[in-house]
Structure formats: structure tokens, C-alpha cells
Amino acid sequence: MALEVTLQAAGPIPLDLAFRVEPGQLLALVGHSGAGKTTVLRTVAGLWRPENGRVAVAGSIWLDSASGVNLPPHRRRVGVVFQDFALFPHLTAAQNVASAMLHMPKAERRAEAERMLGLANLHGLADRLPAQLSGGQQQRVALARALARCPDVLLLDEPFSAVDRATRERLHAEIIGLRAHLAMPVILVTHDVNEAQLLADRLVVIEKGRMVAEGVTGRVMSDPVALRALGLREAGATIAARIVAHEADGLTRLETSAGPLLLPRLDGVPGTWVRVRIMAHEVILARQAPQGLSALNILPGTVIEVKPGDGPGAFVQLRLGRDTILARVTRRSAQALGLAPGVDCFAILKSMAVACDQVGAGTDPADPDP
Amino acid sequence: MAVWALVRKVFGALGLAATLGLSALAAVAQDEPPIVAAAADLRYALSAIAAAFQAETGLGVTLNFGSTGDFARQIREGAPFQIFMAADESYVAALYRDGFTRDGGDLYAEGRIVVMVPQGSALAADENLDNLAAMLATGTLTRFAIANPEHAPYGLRAREALIHRGLWDALQPMLVLGENVGQAAQFALSGNAEGGIIALSLALAPEVGARGDFALIPADWHGPLLQRMVLLRHAGPEAEAFYAYIRSPAARAIMARYGFVLPGG
Amino acid sequence: MDWTALGLSLQLAGWTVIALLPVAVFGGRFLAYRSFGAKGLIETLVMLPLVLPPTVLGYYLLVAFGRNSPLGAFWQEMFGQPLAFSFPGLVLASIIFNLPFAIQPAQRGFEAVPIAVREAAQCCGMSPLRSLWQVELPLAWPGLMTAMVLAFAHTLGEFGIVLMVGGSIPGRTRTIAIAIYDRVQAFDNSAAATMSAVLVAISLVTIAATYWLSARVGRRLG
């Protein structure tokens, strides 16, 4: 049931890519606007045809330039969530969802549509028109509609860029919760690296129509080539943490595999797992545990690799407990501190450096079947 | 949304109606009264004759008035007329020669032209057109209406008369041309012209005559208006009956009332 | 008041609308969605009847329908009557000279359907025809209605082409506009005035309907 995609085109944007997504995996296509990410998505959906391409899902061929196969979108079992929702404005929420259920007998569609809306936290809104729903609600209807098709592939085209930040965080959480029930390959197109890092298993970084990096999220985010395309300030890593308690002075205490973490007040019941994105340029390194610092988070770790850049900077990859993080320091400091693979050091992180949208819902890393 | 559901039903009903097709319409035209294409000067006279015909026989005809030349053209293009009553026999001769008519037709009347002026016009109607000449000389005439000489016989004769009187060139810039002599009459009496040259039969009609004064123009100033009628190729029995009726004494009496000089007396 | 003439006008307008509805739907949709080299040319040709004088159109139509043309001769063979000077001939001519009124607003109506919505319909598994029926027409119908209303009203008012192609045959091709012309020539001003007033009333209703529909389109998409 895996999805395989290759495509080449000369225009309007020159494109040359190939990748594969396994069932249940979420692959994020990241890159700047105009890099070609949406074009790739549209190729998989059948809304665009490259000069040369091949799209195969679970053994059935949707597109093959070599043999002239090109199924139109309505003959591909694909679910698409569009950037601006693209709900049918004249139909209610339930009717929107039901219109993707053409494979079901008509009598059953309404009940099933209501059930899906319920799963998407839209109880009681089945008979509302899109104009009567908020942005977040509309996006959930769009998602329900895409899933109502029982698609072989789920495509999300910048689905959260049209909603406000608070709604976006909630939707992120729901996607993560939904992941467990999604058996098909999922492709997410986004220009928001933060979002990609929080949600995706694998990343493909696209620059000017070419793949500059591809692989597991963590590894891509520490790849300098990828980071140069995304912007070096995007360098960061995520670690899993569990909420322990909310303290009286507005901080939340979390527990990571390397030690305690104090962050500004988070939403969440103690016991909940989260993923925290730690930006590389916010991490200070020290050979000894420092004293008298204002920073509250000092975690012990071991250097895995030091990657000098072209300029004065260097990326240091660090193991913290079971997680890996990145730190961006000057080459001068790396040399002065004698940072090399295997060396023990401490990572220092300001609590206030972590923004609330850098914390997303997570799963217990020890639980094999979340 | 409810409106769309209603609209959908309306569209569906229209679609159903559309399956009837246009050939149904084509078939309908079979049993209508025969159509007579008549020169515009016959409007009032022929309407009276048709009414008398209906009273006597119970049969109806459809009358169509226009310019002789226009009708001749339409007949050549297949217009569904059954009788053609022209204001000039040369058109009938041409149609007969080209096979559109049953025969050479019959002379039914000789027409006359008059100069007519509306109430209160600066122009006076006199049979020698002296007043017209005077107004032209002083430059006080603004508009004068005749039928179009190209395809209306009454317009052609009006031009001949004006040429004979030596007024044609001076009158050119002031001329208003009607599509047929009926329209010329309407222009002449509309108040926007000082007058015009129209058919005697129209001037004698109460609807027209009440609007102004007229004077007969000498017949030797122009070629004769020999008005000939003819049955067209596909004429049916009702058309034949009406054709015969027009030549009956009762119809001739009506024609005389409208100033038509009848052949044979 | 010449009721026959009014009846002819209404029938002519009615048949024109019926015939042009599928043309508006599929022609307007095609022009709205596709982009191709000859598109500008086709749009120009469609608009042509709008800017040409009716006499030019009338002349060409008469040439095309006359007994000497292939179409006219064929019609004469089939139905035993000429195409020119007949009501069916008027309907045919009316369909042609109303093309811009039918296609243009319909095209705008379909253009107003957001591309994303159409693509979403495809990605929901809808074939093009199902998408037309369930998604596009419900959204584009105000444009279609405007097209039909305009074509209806324009046909009621058409004079020059109807006169040239139809003649002025009472009971067959003498529409109300031509009947008014005839009544004026006959010095029957009261009849002319009555019929003119009726036409004005119908036109006002038509314009009001068009504005109401435009407002609906605006509200739906605003």
C-alpha cells in the first residue's frame, strides 16, 4: 500500500524528484514558496500532469508517462485537504462529507457522514453551511471529507496556513491523535518547518524543484545541506517529554530522558507526553555544569558529531538521554572547548527561549503501540 | 439551496418542452388563411374589401402591406404569399417571366398621386405645386416626404412628377424617403415635414384625410400607375375565391370610393 | 392590441431560451474553464452579434436561409416551406443573434466557481458531469438565469433582423415590435401606444429580475 512518486518537468517550475511513502507514514514536503511542493502534491492527486512521471499506489498505477496512463482525479482513490478548505459553499457540513462517499449506497451516507463529523469533534454542526463555521471547523470538515473517501493516499496542502495560531496548535494535536488510525500514506505540504518537524516521520526538502534532502525527520533537520535550503535558523531537534506538574510561578515541569525541563506554562494534564522543539541557536554548551546562570535547564549529554559550516558556525549533534539535539556554536568555541565525538558536555537552554508553538502533542516513546 | 431545487425543476420542465421540436411549428402553418401581399396604397381599400369578403363568404384572408419592390424580392426568396397586388405591373411581369406566378395577372386599378400637407403646414396643397416651388425658392422648406423611388412605384411616379415640374434637384436635400407610400404618408403628416407626395387612395381614407389637405397632381406629369394583381404559384382555393371577389362589382365599388380608376370604365 | 403578435414574440423568446440553455451551459462552461490559443478568437466571434448592426446580421442570415442556400433548400425539401419568412426561421436567427447574451453571462457564472471547489469535487470522486450537476450548476445558476433572462428580453425587442429574415407576415412572423411599426404606418397611434407600454412593462420586469439575480450571485460569493 506504499506510494511511489517520480516526476520530472521543465516548466512552469523545473522539477525533478522521486520519493516513497509507506502506509501509515507522514511525509512532509518542505521548502520555500515557489519551490514546487504544491505541484508535487497536485501531480499525485491528478490535478497536474508532468512531462515525465510515475505515481503508483499499492500496485495500481495512477500515472505513468512511459505507457501513457493518466487517471483523472475522480478515478484516483485520493483524499485532498486544500489550503483554503474548498468546501462546497452550498452544501451543509454533512452533505460536504457525504459527497465524497459515492462508493457507498445513498441511504447510508448521511449516518456515516455524521459519524465522521463526530470523530472530527464537530458534533451538532452537521447541518451548518460552511459560511456558518469557523476556520478551524471548516478545516475539520475538509479533513473529514477527505477521509470519507477511504482514500489510498491522504494529501494535505498547507492545511493550517489559513487558520490562526491557536487553532493551528489544536489541529496539530488532532492530526497527531488521528495518526494512529490512518493506515494510508500521508503527504503534508508546508512551508512551516516547525509544523513539519512536529508532525512528520520523514521529510523531503525541496529547493527550486529539486530534492536537497530526504529522510527521517531528525536526520534531515541536522543535515547542513537541508538546513541551508530551509534557513539555518530553522535548525533544531525535537525531544520527547512528559508533563510532571504545573508549578505555582507559571512554569511547567517536564521530565525528559536526560533530566528535568522547566518551560513556560503549557496546556496539558500531568502525565501527558509532548514533543518539544529545541532550536539549535538557543542551545549553549559547557564542559562543566555551570553555576549561577539564569538558565534553568541544564542537561548532561554526549557529543555525537561536530559539523563545521562554511562560515564561522558549526553544528554540534548531542545525545541527551534517548534523544538527539543540535547546538549551533562558533567554530572557535567548538575548538576551544575541545568538542569531539564522545566528549561529555552540558546543554543549557533558557526556559523562555521555547515558544508555545514549539511544543506539540507527543507520544510515549517507550510505548510500541501508541 | 431551496431556490436551486426549484430552478432545477423549472429547467427540467423546459427541457421536456424542448423535445417537442421546431418541426411541430412548421407543420402548424398549413391551414391558416391565405396571405395577400399588397402595395401600401391599398391599405384602407383592401381592408374594406376583405371585410366585405368575410361577411359574404365567411372566409378570411391575411393582409400584408408594404412596398411593391420589397414584396417582389421576398416572393423571389420564397415568401409564402398567395396573392400579389402590385402598384406597378412591371414587377408582376418580371415575376411571371421568372415562373413565380400562375399567369400574367389582371389589371385591377390605376392609381393617382396627390400632394398632401398636414393641418397648419406652411405649405399649401395646390395641384400645380406652385406653392412648393415658391417655398423652395425662398428657402423656407425644411422636409418633404415621398416613398422610396427605388422600390415603391408611388415614389417613382412622385419623382417623375417633380422632375417634370423642375423641382427635383432643389428638393433633393429636403427629401425624406418612406419605405413604402404608407410610411411616406406617415412622415408627411407627422408634423415634422411640411408635406409630401402620397397615394390618392390613402388621402381619401378617413384616418388620413382628416389630418390635412391634398390636391391631385396631373396624371400626365408622370408614368401611369398601372396596378396589377396576380395569383402566385401555390395559391389555394380560398386565395382564388378572394382574387375573383376583388374583381366583382361590390369590390370595385369600394375601390372607386378610394379614388382608384378602374380598367374598363 | 395585437395579441397574436405578442403571442408570437413570447413564443419566439421562449423557444430561443430553450434552445440556448444547453448552449449556455456547455459553451459557457467550456470557455470559463479552458485556456487555449483560439479562445480569444472564439470569444470575439461569440460577441460579434452584439456589435454588428442588425442589418448586417439580417443580410447574412437571409443569404444563409434563402431558398438558394443549402440550408434553405434542405428545409424546403423537408417541410415544404421556406426557412426565411417562417417562424422556425426566426427561431434559428434568434438563436444566432442571441449567442452573446446567452454565453457571456453563463461564462461569468461558471468563472465565479472557485477553481479549488471544482478540484475538490474531482478529488471527491465526482465525474465531470456529476460535478456539473451537483457542484457547478448550483453555484453558477444565477449567471445562467441572467443569460436566459437577457436573451428572452432581447428577443422581445429585436426588430431589424426579425423584419429582414421574417418579413412582417401577420400570424407568422409579425412580432409585437414589428406590429408597433405597422400600426404607426397605419396611423393607428392608440394601438402603437398600448403595445409599446406593454413592451416597456415587460422590459422593466426583466431588468429588475436581472439585477436581483446579480445581487444573488454577489451575495453568494461575497
Long-range contacts of A9-12 (CB under 8 A, 24+ apart): A9/A39, A9/A50, A9/A51, A9/A52, A9/A53, A9/A209, A10/A51
What is the rounded average pLDDT of the residues A62-78? 92
A touches which chains (3+ CB pairs under 8 A)?
Answer: B, C
CB nearest C138 (choices: A46, A90, A100): A90
Chain C residue numbers touching A82 (CB-CB < 8 A)? 116, 119-120
B touches which chains (3+ CB pairs under 8 A)?
Answer: A, C
Inform me whether the pLDDT recorded for A47 exceeds 90.
Answer: yes
Handedness of CA A70, A73, A79, A80 (dihedral sign): positive
Assess whether the previous peptide bond of A260 is cis (omega < 30° from 0): no
Going from the C-alpha of B134 to that of each of B139, B171, B200, the distances in angstroms are 9, 12, 24
CB nearest A102 (choices: C120, C125, C135): C125
- pLDDT band of residue A173 (cuts 50, 70, 90) is confident
Residues 6+ apart with CB under 8 A from A114: A94, A126
Closest chain C residue by Cα to residue A131: C220
Is A90 touching B (CB cutoff 8 A)? yes
Q: Indicate the SS3 state at residue A313.
A: strand
Helix axes C137-157 and C176-185, enclosed angle (nearest 10): 20
Residues 218-247 of B with CB under 8 A from C: none
Cα separation, C32 vs C113, whole angstroms = 9
CB nearest C185 (choices: B27, B186, B211): B186
- pLDDT band of residue B18 (cuts 50, 70, 90) is very low
What is the rounded average pLDDT of the residues C4-11? 91
What is the rounded average pLDDT of the residues C63-85? 85
Does residue B42 or residue A232 have the better pLDDT?
B42
Q: Indicate the SS3 state at residue A273.
A: strand
What is the rounded average pLDDT of the residues B148-167? 94
Inform me whether the pLDDT recorded for C222 exceeds 50.
Answer: no
CB pairs under 8 A between A and C: 64
What is the rounded average pLDDT of the residues B8-15? 57
Give the residue extent of every domain in chain B.
35-110+226-257, 111-221
Does residue A355 or residue C74 have the better pLDDT?
C74
Which architecture characterizes domain B35-110+226-257 according to CATH? 3-Layer(aba) Sandwich (3.40)
Is B2 touching C (CB cutoff 8 A)? no
* Interface touch A79/C123, C-beta < 8 Å: yes
Cα separation, A350 vs A346, whole angstroms = 13
Closest chain C residue by Cα to residue A45: C123
| Alpha-carbon distance A39 to nearest alpha carbon in chain C (angstroms) | 14
What is the rounded average pLDDT of the residues C47-72? 88
Closest chain C residue by Cα to residue A75: C125
Inform me whether the pLDDT recorded for A224 exceeds 80.
Answer: no
| Alpha-carbon distance A103 to nearest alpha carbon in chain B (angstroms) | 24
Is A265 touching B (CB cutoff 8 A)? no
Is A89 touching B (CB cutoff 8 A)? no
| Alpha-carbon distance A110 to nearest alpha carbon in chain C (angstroms) | 16
Cell 488532532 sits on residue: A174
Per-residue pLDDT tens for B180-238? Answer: 999 999 999 988 899 999 999 999 999 899 999 999 999 999 999 999 999 999 899 99
pLDDT over 70 for what percent of chain C? 97
Residue A207's pLDDT is what? Answer: 87
| Alpha-carbon distance C168 to nearest alpha carbon in chain A (angstroms) | 48
- pLDDT band of residue B5 (cuts 50, 70, 90) is low
Chain B residue numbers touching A91 (CB-CB < 8 A)? 1
Cα separation, C45 vs C91, whole angstroms = 20
A21 contacts A58 by C-beta, under 8 angstroms: no
Does residue B92 or residue A357 have the better pLDDT?
B92
Interface test with C, best of A88, A92, A103, A157 (most C CBs within 10 A): A88
Closest chain A residue by Cα to residue B2: A90
Residue C175's pLDDT is what? Answer: 93
Inform me whether the pLDDT recorded for B12 exceeds 60.
Answer: no
Closest chain A residue by Cα to residue B3: A90
Chain C residue numbers touching A88 (CB-CB < 8 A)? 117, 120-121, 135
* Interface touch C119/A90, C-beta < 8 Å: no
Is C218 touching B (CB cutoff 8 A)? no
Per-residue pLDDT tens for C96-139? Answer: 999 999 999 999 999 999 999 999 999 999 999 999 999 999 99
Closest chain C residue by Cα to residue B24: C88
Q: How many residues does chain B have?
A: 265
Inform me whether the pLDDT recorded for A186 exceeds 90.
Answer: yes
Cα separation, C136 vs C140, whole angstroms = 6
Cα separation, B100 vs C90, whole angstroms = 24
Per-residue pLDDT tens for C202-215? Answer: 889 888 887 887 78
Residue C90's pLDDT is what? Answer: 92
Cα separation, B121 vs A262, whole angstroms = 108
- pLDDT band of residue A135 (cuts 50, 70, 90) is confident
Classify domain C3-221 at the CATH topology level: MetI-like fold (1.10.3720)
* DSSP type of residue B232: B
- Write out the three cell numbers for C48: 460579434
- Write out the three cell numbers for B237: 382555393
* Interface touch C18/B18, C-beta < 8 Å: yes
Closest chain C residue by Cα to residue A44: C123
What is the rounded average pLDDT of the residues A151-173? 87
**Does an H or E element contain A256, and which?**
strand A251-256
Q: Indicate the SS3 state at residue A153.
A: strand
- pLDDT band of residue B22 (cuts 50, 70, 90) is very low
Is C141 touching B (CB cutoff 8 A)? yes
Q: Indicate the SS3 state at residue B61.
A: coil
Cα separation, A320 vs A301, whole angstroms = 5
Per-residue pLDDT tens for A276-316? Answer: 888 888 899 999 989 998 888 999 999 998 988 778 888 89
- Write out the three cell numbers for A204: 523531503
Give the residue extent of every domain in chain C.
3-221
| Alpha-carbon distance A40 to nearest alpha carbon in chain C (angstroms) | 15
On average, the pLDDT of chain A sits at 87
Angle CA A81–A360–A78, to nearest 5 = 20
CB nearest C187 (choices: B18, B32, B186): B186
Chain A residue numbers touching B4 (CB-CB < 8 A)? 90
Is B1 touching A (CB cutoff 8 A)? yes
Cell 442571441 sits on residue: C98
Cα separation, B252 vs A103, whole angstroms = 83
* Interface touch C124/A74, C-beta < 8 Å: yes
Is B4 touching A (CB cutoff 8 A)? yes
Cα separation, C144 vs B7, whole angstroms = 11
Helix axes C39-51 and C99-111, enclosed angle (nearest 10): 130
- pLDDT band of residue B6 (cuts 50, 70, 90) is low
Residues 17-46 of C with CB under 8 A from A: none
CB nearest C117 (choices: A83, A86, A146): A86
Compute φ and ψ for B200, nearest 5 degrees: -60, -40
Cell 426588430 sits on residue: C159
| Alpha-carbon distance B68 to nearest alpha carbon in chain C (angstroms) | 13
Chain A residue numbers touching C114 (CB-CB < 8 A)? 86
What is the rounded average pLDDT of the residues A185-198? 90
Residues 55-94 of B with CB under 8 A from C: 62-66, 74, 77-80
Is B40 touching C (CB cutoff 8 A)? yes
Q: Which amino acid does the sequence have at C133?
A: W
Q: Which of A252, A229, A205, A222 is nearest to A352 (CA)?
A: A252
Chain C residue numbers touching A152 (CB-CB < 8 A)? none
Beta sheet of A344-349, edge-to-edge order: A283-286, A344-349, A297-308, A313-320, A323-330
Inform me whether the pLDDT recorded for B175 exceeds 90.
Answer: yes
pLDDT over 90 for what percent of chain B? 75
Residue B264's pLDDT is what? Answer: 64
CATH superfamily of B111-221: Periplasmic binding protein-like II (3.40.190.10)
- pLDDT band of residue B27 (cuts 50, 70, 90) is very low
Chain C residue numbers touching B22 (CB-CB < 8 A)? 15, 88, 91
Is B35 touching C (CB cutoff 8 A)? yes
Residue B181's pLDDT is what? Answer: 94
Q: How many CB atoms lie within 10 A of CB A202?
A: 20
Is A49 touching C (CB cutoff 8 A)? no
Per-residue pLDDT tens for A256-287? Answer: 988 899 988 887 888 888 888 888 888 999 99
Cα separation, A95 vs A74, whole angstroms = 18
Inform me whether the pLDDT recorded for A78 exceeds 90.
Answer: yes
- pLDDT band of residue A151 (cuts 50, 70, 90) is very high
Is B3 touching A (CB cutoff 8 A)? no
* Interface touch C169/B15, C-beta < 8 Å: no
Chain A residue numbers touching C128 (CB-CB < 8 A)? 74
pLDDT over 70 for what percent of chain A? 97
Helix ranges (H only) for B19-119 are 22-28, 43-57, 68-76, 89-97
Going along chain B, which residue ranges are E strands?
35-39, 62-66, 83-85, 106-111, 113-118, 144-147, 175-178, 195-199, 212-216, 225-231
